[in-house]
Amino acid sequence: MVVSPPATFMDMIGTNPVMQSLFRKIALVAPRDIKVLIQGERGTGKELVGWAIHRLSKRSKGVFKQLNCAGLPKDLLLSELFGHEKGVFTGAYSKKVESEEETFPYW
């Protein structure tokens, strides 16, 4: 007996091999304590993937932080991801340490 994977997964729908592969990848990375970079064209469901990873993770009761990497200058992006030291760029008036309790879903 062959069992087909579900057509829906965490509010996403898809029976084709690409979507089934995506569902497996989400299930694989969600339980791990890692940051994930989510890439794709506009309108392809990157936010849905991020939410799915977050909801399946150990941090699901914590903050879900979404960040549009393409919309930020390099220094600000690095600051958002990793924190910064005071004075390292214009507007860095104090030290910022990124909290390990925040979730950054990137793919």
Under 8 Å between Cβ of 31 and 56: yes
Q: What pLDDT score was predicted for residue 104?
A: 47
Q: Kindly report the CATH class assigned to 14-107.
A: alpha beta
pTM assigned to the model: 0.67
Q: What pLDDT score was predicted for residue 86?
A: 76
pLDDT (tens digit per residue) in 31-73: 998 888 898 998 999 999 999 999 999 989 998 888 888 888 8
pLDDT (tens digit per residue) in 4-18: 556 778 888 888 999
**In this predicted model, which residue has the larger pLDDT, 99 or 80?**
80
